[in-house]
Amino acid sequence: MKTFLPAVRLLLALTFLTGIVYPLLITGIAHELFPRQAGGSLLASHGRIVGSALLPEKFSSNKYFWPRPSAGDDGTNYVAVPSSASNFGPTSSNLVATAQSRLTAFKMANGLESNAPVPAEMVFASGSGLDPDISPEAARLQINRVAAARNFSQEQKRALSNLVHREIEPPQFGFLGEPRVNVLLLNLALDSIK
């Protein structure tokens, strides 16, 4: 009893401190200073939510750039609740077959030569199933397809190339992480090219 009671009381007090005061304090600070980020970086267009700037959505039309394949692909969109990965090991025949078919499909859709290199992230599913980004090269390879599907003139196609170039996010502070293009943001900007 001499140890039990202090244990219970200290546990309750620390639960109050770290389980209620602390998360509420952070939530308060977050809503004061960074309300958009704290709320999921939601993107609105014409008064409705079209997605989050940090999450990808599935695009299958040729009129849009395509994100990475996802293990959470339910056929129409990428499922975010719950997030999921394939968890295939490197010697999995499932992985090899899936990667082969994605590779062929990507080359065919984008009119690439059969021996052309394809960025690996377009062939392999991401860890989160919700990778919003692709490499700049993977975006460039899709420009012809998108331009053709939209019947773009030469001038519009140049505008598209410039847009892709503008959307490239370099490594943070010049040295952290990889250069990348956020596919949803690119596609939302794309609809504004007239």
Which amino acid, residue 66?
Answer: W
Question: Is 124 an interacting residue with respect to another protein (CB under 8 A)?
Answer: yes
Contacts of 142 (CB under 8 A, 6+ apart): 65, 66, 110
Could you say which residues in the range 154-173 bind another protein, by CB under 8 A?
171-173
CB 127 within 8 A of CB 56: no
Chain CA centroid to CA 66, Å: 11
Question: Is 109 an interacting residue with respect to another protein (CB under 8 A)?
Answer: no
Question: Is 151 an interacting residue with respect to another protein (CB under 8 A)?
Answer: no
Segment contacting another protein (CB under 8 A): 104-112, 116-124, 143-151, 156-164?
A: 116-124
CB 57 within 8 A of CB 51: yes
Q: CB-wise, 147 or 183, nearer to another protein?
A: 183
Q: How far is the CB of 47 from another protein (least distance, A)?
A: 11
Q: How far is the CB of 148 from another protein (least distance, A)?
A: 18
Q: Which of 66, 133, 142, 147 binds another protein (CB under 8 A)?
A: 133
Could you say which residues in the range 44-103 bind another protein, by CB under 8 A?
48-55, 57-61, 64, 68, 76-93, 95-96, 99, 103
Q: CB-wise, 13 or 154, nearer to another protein?
A: 13
CB atoms within 10 A of CB 187: 22
CB 13 within 8 A of CB 6: no
Q: Which of 148, 163, 185, 188 binds another protein (CB under 8 A)?
A: 188
By three-state DSSP, how is residue 72 classified? coil
Phi, psi of 51 (to 5 degrees): 155, -170
